[in-house]
Structure formats: structure tokens, C-alpha cells
Amino acid sequence: MTPRRARAIAYAVVAILLILALRFTPRLPERKPVEILLQGNAHAAAVDTTSPPQRDAYVDTLYAGETLQALLRRGGVSDADAEGALRAATTIDMRRIPACMPVTIAAVGADSTPTEIVLQLAVDRLLRIKHTETGWSSEEQRLPWTTDTVVVSGSISSTLYEAMDSSAKSVLPVGARRQLTWSLADVLEYRVDMSRDLQPGDEFRVMAERSTSPTGVVRVDRVLAATMKLSGNTIEAIRFKSESVGGDYFDQDGRSLRAAFLRAPVEFRRISSVFGLRKHPILGIMRRHQGTDYAANIGTPVRAVGDAVVVRAGWSGGYGNLIELRHPNGYVTRYGHLRGFAKGVHAGARVTIGQTIAYVGTTGLSTGPHLHFEVIVGGAQRDPRVALNLKGGQPIPSAERGAFVALRDRMMASLDTAKSDAVAVALH
């Protein structure tokens, strides 16, 4: 076969394959429609920016760093209409619109002006920008939440997180379960350090308000009542408004749960070492560990466990950065291995209970980020678990006693009637 004939055969084969490919390849649509499906705070599909959407309602979310006008242009809104709509939105600052904000454009198309643009500013707050014959106008709308009451009960096997997560699945989504865990810890923070006081077999029961948005978002509002059984001892907490005694919650005896001291100096409580003998992680010898270590991420806020005057705030050898507070009852508390101090915290400064005074670090003799916490009574270190275990604040006055007892009995009865792990209840 001559070279010329071989080339001719090759060209013919290529031509036949090209004809077959064109014959059996499906035709592309003239214009590809676009639809963005909102899945949480993320885009579920890529955006076709070459063709305007041909839907009655176009839903999109704002990219990080993107302008609202760019999103509207992607949704098929002309620049002139976008400018008119944004001028009408006088109640919001366009520079402060968060990324991932959902936006709905109604009646969009290649040859039509949108009838409405809806910005979802929050889960329960909409800004409706409407187009009429007279031009653009805007109006904010608050979406109503529905509220009911739920009771969750559980038994501790490892942590309060685990117990709440397994007990409340039927009535609360994961985010609301985490929220209820921290709400319960906050209610009892003057009596219970959830990171170290709980033991396997301890039990809790909590009644809280549950709110549901029209879009299905669930949140936990106020805790109304709770019980906690710790090593056979029961603590009750009842939400009650007293005219003369501070605090939102009172125990079964009518004493405020707000005491002189918090039980823990950090909000994100995960303990790594308890008071007593241990092998020092750096020195490698057995010596008495004069306090409690709370493992936490660097930068976690450290709070004063009570009202106090700052005795010192600076470097102190193996403690690293150290703060020492003197409290009105003579107690002294120490906070070591700090990354740094909060603004205004220095020797002689006054701090209040719960105030952020420093941040977790790993300075001094420390193998990792944690807070070393000590309580000193009469010049000697005391176990913080014992020293701060105060039994309550002021009692409810006699004039309010009857109202409190009636509320306490009603709340405890509602808790007792909820037999399952988690159930919605009606208050009477």
C-alpha cells in the first residue's frame, strides 16, 4: 500500500467517526436553567452565570465578600432594578450583610422585573423589598415562633454532654441539645462543677421552653426547673422572680442558687487533673498538686470565681503568668499558666464574679494549654471542690414564700409526671 493510499484511508475513518459522533451525541438545550437549592448555609449546586434563571422563585445565598448587587445580577435582576431595590432597603446597612444570607427573588426572568426580593436577615427576620407601579419599597417582617415546654431526663455514664445527647434526641436537634446542656450547667454553676462533680449513676431532669421557627429551626429558651442527683444528694432549681433577693433560680429550700463563688473558673470545663498526689508532668517526681487543672484551648477566657481585689498579676516562676485574687471572706484564689491578662487587670484592681480576668495559656512549668487553679484558706491550699462548695445564697423572704412554694410544687409535679427520657409537657 502506497503512503498516499494509507493517508486517504485514515482520513476516511476519521470522517466516519466524526459523523457518527455528531449523529448520536444528544443536543444541548439552548438555555440551561439555574436553581440554587439552599442547604443550611451552603450552595448545593454550581451557578450558571451565563444565563438568567427562568423560574418563578430564585433562591441563592450570598458568597463571602460578595456584594448583594452581584447576587441580584446572577439571579437575573438588571442593574437598574437592583439599584432601585437596594435604595429602598433603608433599614439595613449593606456593608454589614453577613455571608450565606439567603435571598429569594420572585418572578425573575430574562424579560421581567422582579416583583419582590426577600432578604432573610435572621432566622426569624425578613426584609421584603417589593416592586409596584410607583416603584420600590421595603418592609421588615418578624416571623412568629411557636413555644411549648419539654422535659428531658437522663443518667450520667460519662459526661453531661453524652447523657443529654442520648436522652433528648426525640425532642431536640443536636444544636439545641448542646444549648440545653450549657443552660443546665449555667443554672447550677454555683453548686455543681459539671466537669468534675458528676459521677456515673448521677441523674438529672430539666424542664425548658422550646421554640420552633416557621422554617423548622429549634432553639431552647429558658430553663424553668431542674433536679440533679449527685451521689445520692438532690439539688432542685426553680426559676422564680423575687422582688428582694438576687438570682433567677432558687433551691428546694427557697435559697438563691447565686452564691459568693462560682464552682469553676472557666466556662468550657474539661478537667485534666484533680487535687491530690500526682506525678509532676515536667519535674517527673511525686509531689502534692495544690489545686485543679482545667484543660482548655489557648485563649479560653478565665473568669474570677468571686468578687475580689487583684493581689498580683505577673510572672511567677513555675506558675508562668499568674493572677492572685483576695476575696471578701479572706479566701485567695490563684490562676496560673496564663497566656495573658484581660484589659484593666492589675494589682489593686477590683474584679467581679464571672468577670474575664485572663486567658488560658501554657506558660511556666506546663506541658500543654490549661489553667491551674488554687484556693487558699488561712494561708494553706485547700481542695477547691471542698472550699467552694457553698450551699446557697439569700433565702426568699416570708412575704414571697407562699408564691414560691406553690410554683415549686407545680414545677416538681410536672417534672415527676414526665416518665420518659424526653417529652413535651403542658403546664397548668
pLDDT in tens, 352-396: 999 999 999 999 988 889 999 999 999 998 988 888 877 668 899
Q: Which three cell numbers stand for residue 117?
A: 426580593
Mean pLDDT of the region 91-109: 84
The most distant pair of C-alpha atoms in the chain lies apart, rounded to whole Å, by: 118
Mean pLDDT of the region 293-321: 93
Percent of the chain clearing pLDDT 70 (strictly above): 79
Weakest mean pLDDT among 54-68, 192-206, 365-379: 54-68
More confident residue, 15 or 319: 319
* pLDDT over 60 (residue 53): no
Which domains does the chain carry? 38-142 (3.10.450.350), 146-259+395-425 (3.10.450.350), 271-387 (2.70.70.10)
Q: 427 pLDDT band (50/70/90 cuts)? A: low
Mean pLDDT of the region 203-211: 95
Q: What is the pLDDT, as a whole number, of residue 246? A: 87
Number of Cβ within a 10 Å radius of residue 316: 16
* pLDDT over 50 (residue 37): no
Find out whether 259 and 392 touch, Cβ atoms under 8 Å. Answer: yes
Q: Point out which residues pair with 253 in neighbouring strands.
A: none
Q: What is the pLDDT, as a whole number, of residue 346? A: 97
* pLDDT over 80 (residue 39): no
More confident residue, 419 or 27: 419
Mean pLDDT of the chain: 83
Note the pTM of the prediction, 2 decimals: 0.70
- Please state, in angstroms and rounded to a whole number, the distance separating the CA atoms of residues 93 and 88: 12
Q: Which three cell numbers stand for residue 325?
A: 485574687
Mean pLDDT of the region 285-289: 53
Contacts of residue 4, defined as CB under 8 A and 6 or more positions apart, other chains included, come to: none
Strand (E) positions, 247-318? 249-250, 271-273, 276-279, 286-289, 292-295, 301-303, 308-315
